[in-house]
Structure 1
Amino acid sequence: MTGHAGDADRRLRGAPAPELVAALADARDMPDGEARFAELERIAARADALGDARSALDARFALVEAYLLHGERWRLTEPVRRCLAAVDRFPELLAERPGEAELLRRHQRYAVEAAIGTPRIGLDTARALLDDLARRGGETSGLVAQLRCRLADHLGDEPTARRWHDTWAAAEPDPTAGCPGCLPARRAELLAGWGDDVAARETLRPVLDGAVDCTDQPERALAVGLLPWLRAGETERAGQAHVRAYRRHRRERTAFGYLAVHLRFCALAGHPGRGLDVLAEQLPRLDHPYDDLTAMEFAAAGALVCALAAEAGLGGRRIHRPAHGSRPAAEVDVDTLGTDLLTLATGLAGSFDARNGTGHQSGRIASWLAERPVGTPVPLPDDDGEPAEDDAPFVPAADELAPLSLSMITSVLDGRGDVYAVDAGGVVVGRWNEAVIQFRQVGTRGEILHARVVAARRLPSARLTEAYAFCNAWNHDRLLPKAYVHDLGGGELVLAGDVTTDLEHGVAPAQLGVLVDATVATGVAYAEAVAALP
């Protein structure tokens, strides 16, 4: 085979077209948002047209990651579906990079979960992806059972959800099914929703006893246990759990989904005033929710707080609601805010039900709004409800796992004695000899540490072939960083590199220090190698 046909065959076997590799590197440097999405889609389409399966897969992986980074999970289904079709047609694509098989399975899970979180994805699409996941991994795998359970619960089919719950609970651990330390809390949340508070509390026991290793715990489990403990009369335990968990959840951008249960607890525990405090503090986050489901739940819980606060004589209190889009900033009274939140919650529930062909979500929200306090106000431990002005960022002990955070990154750099700056977007930037290195958090929960190394020396664009050869040789001989060429236009080439580490299960400061040390050392070596080019 010769000529263009030979090129196409070579690309199908995994050798990417250089012009698409360069375009993909450029796209990764674009700001997050629609322009970047459009460029990645264009590259994927161009790769399809050229028969370059490797570049098409890389572009769609990058597109999925961009959607996740930007909070656009509802858009995952099409690129994930195209990736699955590509690896079915060309299995060697995953054979070349074994880690991508697990990554694709994880992305497939995210796409199915997105259908639970928003009505913008059709049920047939979600079910097709879930059936495909079962075909690849087995019908009774933990991941498939979990997703079938959660989807059935979302549709209001409790008997089916319970059957899949039992399969899920008995399944072997699956690394793509999510954090194993969080899965008991997720199961307990479902059980509590079905009114099985005894089983929910029992399911939480290993987490609360410290038998799991997860950086979201025990606060997530404490939040899940709030209403089961309250309904069981364990009011002191529930009050302590709320105060402890909310101290953490109030500040974490990934904890938006837990805020509804904190609001419901305040309403049902006889603390509508505290509920208004929580609502006022967290209301701006409703304009940037994790997904439609968590927005619906937050709005419904907030509407309940407002209704009970009005009944308690607090209806005249005013709460600041910041401007968003075409909505101006305003000081709204409790009654007005409650009406607005109720409208939002019922509207979203109606959208879910219209997509699902059921009335389950509307009924669920109505049942929340009908709830009333369980008795006398629950005692709460001392907590002023406000963070101290001089609160230092949380930094765990050297060997203690914790979610990756900006304060942990800067603490490591401070310990090294490095000079750096932090921009408005939370990106840490510093220069080490010939290397400019950026550290930032990416991923839906900020759980991925991404470092970008840029060599200070630039090459003229006439040396593009030589630059590609240098990067290919570097990637062949060195593990870090992953090198690539970026054409700035105007006659200059930037040689850059990436180091990406998934820290979904948390990281200890000592481990993070090792990662930063390795990134700086290899980044400097890379930049010095660029500087040494003729």
Structure 2
Amino acid sequence: MPTAPQNTDELYQALQENDRRPYGRTRTVIAEELVDAAEQFAEPLPLVHALLELQEAYTYGSEPRKSPVVFARLLTLFDEQPDVFDDRTRHQLFWRFKWVAHALLQLPEVPLPSLRQWLTEMRDRYEMADLGLQPYYGQAYRLAAHVGEDTALAYELWAGRTRTRLSDCEACEICERALYHLEAGDDERALRTWEPVLAGKESCHEEPARSISYALLPLLRTGGIDQARALHLAGYRGCRRNPSMAQEVARHLEFCALTGNEARGLELLAENRNLFDEVDSPLDQLGFLTGVEVLLQRIELLGHGEQPAAGYAGRAWTVAGLRAEVRGRADDLAARFDARNGTTAHTDRRRARLDRAPLLDALELTLRPRSLDDVAPAAPVAAPAARTAAAVPDSLPELVLRARKLDEQGHPDAQACWARLRTLVAARDYTHPEDPAVGPLVRLRADLLADEANRAGNKDEFAVAAELHEEAAALYDAVGQPGEATLARACALLAGAEIRAESATEGADEAEAKAAALTAAHASMVRLHEETPGLAPFQEARLLRLRATALALRLQTSRSDEHVAPVLAEVDLLHAFATRHDIVGQISGALQLRASTYAISGHLPAAVTQTDALLDRLKEHGPAWHLPRTLGLRGRLQLGLRDAKAAHADLSEGLRLAADWPADAVDTTRLHGDLAEACMHLGRPDEALRHLTRSAELDLRHGSRTDAYCAYSNAARLSLDLGRVEDCIALLDSLLAEPDIAAGEVDDRLVAQLRLTRARALHEGEDLKAATAEFVALAAESACWDDDPGSHAMIAAETAVLLGEAGEFGRAREAADQALGAHARAPRYEQLSNCLRELARLQAQQQGPDGLADARAFLADAGRIADEARTAGYEAHGRSLDTALAYEHGRVNAYAGEYEDALAALDKALALLGEPGTDDGRAGEWAECIRLAAAVEGLYLERPAPALTRLDAAISRLTALGHTERTEPLTSLAGRLRDEE
């Protein structure tokens, strides 16, 4: 708090501001300071309000030891000066007897007789105030349940009584009744009781998040798997990182552990690491630590005890180490509660949770299902293949020779051999075999460098690839392997061309720079070829393939017709050479390059014909591992020919065959991505979403993190379009927690896109506060994007609308001005017009006549945007900006009570629209404009006759055109006007 309030008005303003803050240390500290400030004033009422705010901060900030102390001060003030308390503060005082009862129950150091004494005090106070005792019996029941006594009588004394004004809210009482049935082992009755809360019909500050956390396991046990999944996503978001809901977080961790989602459990544990240190309630600590232990115990049983886990601050934890720490603390807390209560209830309940067996082997909770191996520090490079690769020889000489032979063929199994050799050579006790067939260690190191360079190139890490290829070439030269050295240098040339294109000088055409670099690389490869005699056939074929690839990439870059023939000429050389020497892999490669060349040059039917021939050859002669890529190529060609059904068939078959090979060898990632596109064309978005997420996760496993994040970004936007809001938020939360994103190592614009989609999802999910906070942050950051003012204009415009929805029109105006400033540099006519019109509507709707001047100012800005757009020849994608503006003038003036102006604006909008036609998409917009004009004219201006004439004519017009579905609102309004005549 910058400065202490100097008068009571400032104090009340500060209390209101603090009430908008989230619960936690910041809110609590400010509340403490405001109590100190209130004590300086002569009036006692400000102190009452400050103490009420402080007790609330302690209660929901999980500090139960302090809440009763504050309440004692309030009770003393009430006893000494009851007239200070108005109806509201008096109600708050008696309500909070329950808060104190709950706070004392959470502290094992408070003796059981003291708990009972407090309940007696509560009963006496309620009776003296002539208040109903149902709330008292509710607290008595909760104490009995906590202690582990027979609760049947206590439950009936509470649940059988009529509710009063001081009873807990419906949602909280529903939860308590459901828990009673759950404790009795009746899952189905508990779930029936919970139904209003789980369905969102009843809610409060802690509900439905609390009920959801308890209902997850009963839902699984009764077959409600889909509902449990959906509620986990929504409920977890309602309690995460909240110290007062640590037990709810723990039940979500337990749910993950019992559904085969241990990796997600670790992710959620890391997100809630703050709870280890911020939960001051011993009872909440016990519940939280028990849920954590359920998760850690499961992970350790699966053999991952050495995996890192987020725990208490100050040291790095493994799963096993954290479990031991948690177990000791939780056992001690349970024993303390049982000693206080004189029962074994808490130890028994803890043991029951820890003894639960998994309820499902695997439940796909999120769009990003991962295993413990995926989140381990040394995650596997590739996804496990369905096919068992050929056995890697145990003999080191055999392993080296097999790796080289497979590499000559381009066989995917070479990867496993090189990986094994890399591990062996890196070992401190490695001894190189003295075998002439194997050659010296330097030769093997060159082979390993070349393989590493190829993998870097596949991930577009061209600088790394070029450097490694050059190192390999030097080693090959040193051991008298000129053919291999030439191949390595040719690969380095290709990678170098990519580097030069990426680093083209500012202002140069990137495509031209890349084409020139590839032309130079090809010329250098030709010289290398001419200057290296004695190449083995497989080496010469590979060099020819590199030459053809360089020219094919040039064509792909330039799209120039003059670059087609050189590619086909090189392909013919490769095909002829490979056919003469029967090198089947390079024959297939040549045919694939030829088909791709036809495709790039726009001859798709010819490309399909070439691909058909290649597939026939592959099925007869092989190599089999080329089939998935070739089917993928034909699938993409079919997409280009707009035959999504044929594309889907080819891509699906390619994906099926790809399961026989390592994912990166057959480009499984791209098959998934292309299948997603085919599915979207076929109107199967849910299937497309699955393929997008599979593609993204494969990219992550292969180290292509930027590609993965881009694919996941597309998946998040698609899931939001499908209305799967919680899926979208959970996916993005998971991505944004990735170490490289959290450390700022990923492109800031890509991260901003992820955050923007998340903010939109939060808005769609009606979490306006969180959405607005994220949009405000993004707007501030994007203001610095001097190279992309258009994006800032869009973000600032969306931010302004959210601030308007929250009623913060001053800040909304500031954000809108930012958007207008950026729009001046990079016009976004439609987005800005939509934003300004919506702000005008919101302000007039929320503030009525008081907001009319500011609303009209927004509309004036929107009018200038429409003028600019008209001058620039811009055509809106939806309705015209002028028509939309006229309609909004009508609505804004109607909200503000300026009905004549509203009617004039609506008539202008109708004139701009013109009457709809038979196939005109304007029918709905026209009908709505008619309806609003008739409502203003007939209801507010009290001129029903012309309004009815307007309506009847419109109904007849729409009916004649076949737009009968548009007439219902008009008919309803006409009926109302006739009834009122």
The two structures share one fold, judged by TM-score above 0.5: yes
Partner residue of 2:78?
A: 87
Matched, 1:346 2:331: yes
CA pair 38-237 structure 1, distance change in 2 beyond 3 A:
closer
Cα distance in 1 for partners of 2:244, 2:34 equals 28
Cα distance in 2 for partners of 1:137, 1:273 equals 50
Secondary structure of 1:151's partner? helix
Partner residue of 1:107?
A: 96
Deviations 1:47-94 (A, max 9, x none): 9xx9x9768756754653564475433222233234334434543233
1:299 offset after TM fit, Å? 0.9
Unaligned runs of 5+ in 2: 1-5, 19-25, 370-729, 737-753, 777-798, 813-841, 851-981
1:407 offset after TM fit, Å? 2.7
CA pair 142-378 structure 1, distance change in 2 beyond 3 A:
farther
CA contact (8 A) 2:28 2:54 kept: no
Q: Of 230, 235, 245, which residue of structure 2 is paired with 1:245?
A: 235
Deviations 1:225-263 (A, max 9, x none): 111122334444434433443355446666433112112
Letter in 1 for 2:219: W
Partner residue of 1:135?
A: 124
Matched, 1:229 2:219: yes
Alignment of 1:205-284 (within 5 A): 205-212=195-202, 214=204, 218-250=208-240, 255-284=245-274
Q: Of 337, 342, 361, which residue of structure 2 is paired with 1:357?
A: 342
Cα distance in 1 for partners of 2:809, 2:46 equals 41
Deviations 1:304-341 (A, max 9, x none): 21112111122221124463xxxx231x2211111111
CA contact (8 A) 1:216 1:403 kept: no
Cα distance in 1 for partners of 2:105, 2:122 equals 16
The alignment covers a number of residue pairs equal to 401
Cα distance in 2 for partners of 1:417, 1:40 equals 31
Cα distance in 1 for partners of 2:54, 2:209 equals 33
CA pair 23-63 structure 1, distance change in 2 beyond 3 A:
farther
Secondary structure of 2:96's partner? helix
Cα distance in 1 for partners of 2:290, 2:56 equals 31
1:151 offset after TM fit, Å? 1.2
Partner residue of 1:505?
A: none
Alignment of 1:297-446 (within 5 A): 297-321=287-311, 323=313, 328-330=314-316, 332-374=317-359, 376-378=361-363, 380=365, 382-384=367-369, 386=731, 387=733, 388-389=735-736, 390-391=754-755, 392-393=758-759, 395-396=762-763, 405=770, 407=772, 412-413=802-803, 418-419=810-811
Cα distance in 2 for partners of 1:170, 1:514 equals 43
Partner residue of 2:140?
A: 148
CA contact (8 A) 1:40 1:59 kept: yes
Secondary structure of 1:418's partner? helix
Letter in 1 for 2:133: S
Secondary structure of 1:212's partner? coil
The more displaced of 303-312 and 27-36 is 27-36
Secondary structure of 1:283's partner? coil
Secondary structure of 2:309's partner? strand
Letter in 2 for 1:354: A
Q: TM-score, normalised by structure 2?
A: 0.36
Letter in 1 for 2:66: R
Cα distance in 2 for partners of 1:210, 1:26 equals 33
Letter in 1 for 2:178: A
RMSD (CA atoms): 4.5
CA pair 222-80 structure 1, distance change in 2 beyond 3 A:
closer
CA contact (8 A) 1:191 1:199 kept: yes
Deviations 1:342-364 (A, max 9, x none): 11211222222233333321222
Letter in 2 for 1:91: P
CA pair 131-403 structure 1, distance change in 2 beyond 3 A:
farther
Higher relative contact order (CA 8 A, sep 6+): 1
Letter in 2 for 1:329: R
The structure with the largest helix share of the pair is 2
Q: TM-score, normalised by structure 1?
A: 0.61
CA pair 99-26 structure 1, distance change in 2 beyond 3 A:
closer
1:196 offset after TM fit, Å? 2.9
Cα distance in 2 for partners of 1:396, 1:277 equals 24
Cα distance in 1 for partners of 2:69, 2:361 equals 52
Cα distance in 1 for partners of 2:111, 2:276 equals 24
Secondary structure of 1:315's partner? coil
Cα distance in 1 for partners of 2:199, 2:310 equals 40
Deviations 1:393-448 (A, max 9, x none): 35557xx976865837966536655349xxxxxxxxxxxxxxxxxxxxxxxxxxxx
Alignment of 1:463-478 (within 5 A): none
The more displaced of 119-128 and 226-235 is 119-128
Cα distance in 2 for partners of 1:402, 1:315 equals 37
